[in-house]
Amino acid sequence: MLVVDDNPAFREVVSELLRAQGLDVAGHAGDEDETLSAVQRLRPSGVLLDLQLPGRDGFHVANRLAALDRPPTVLLTSSDSDAANQSLAHECGAVAFVPKADLAGADLRSYFSPGYRASGGIGGRPAPDGGPRESG
């Protein structure tokens, strides 16, 4: 896993959440350039990506990641719960959007499981237990 957020303290907190759910965190990044470099170097299977980054936003970064030959699974997040929805997440190649306030209670591991994207975890179908639901 790669955790992308411009706030180092938040990166550490969410890394602990991911580890507590059995996910390995390989690294951190704080902006688009760091993210692309880390993905090339570390080849993470998943990226937890904040939408509000310095420079280009998380939607742009998610689109860049989706265009890679072996794209990681991307889960979008933001402190602004109205910044995105499941449809916008899907449009930029992410599996879902989870507001930061909901991360602690979400089943984050399920979003990064191999079957989640294939099972249609977004696009109007129910999300995994503890995850957000498509909102119309």
Tens of pLDDT, residue by residue, the chain (136 residues)? 999 999 999 999 999 999 999 999 999 999 999 999 999 999 999 999 999 999 999 999 999 999 999 999 999 999 998 878 888 899 999 999 999 999 999 999 999 987 776 555 543 333 444 444 333 3
Do 103 and 17 contact (CB within 8 A), yes or no? Answer: yes
pTM: 0.85
Do 55 and 32 contact (CB within 8 A), yes or no? Answer: yes
Domains and their CATH numbers in the chain = 2-118 (3.40.50.2300)
Instruction: Look at residue 83 in the predicted model and tell me its pLDDT.
Output: 79
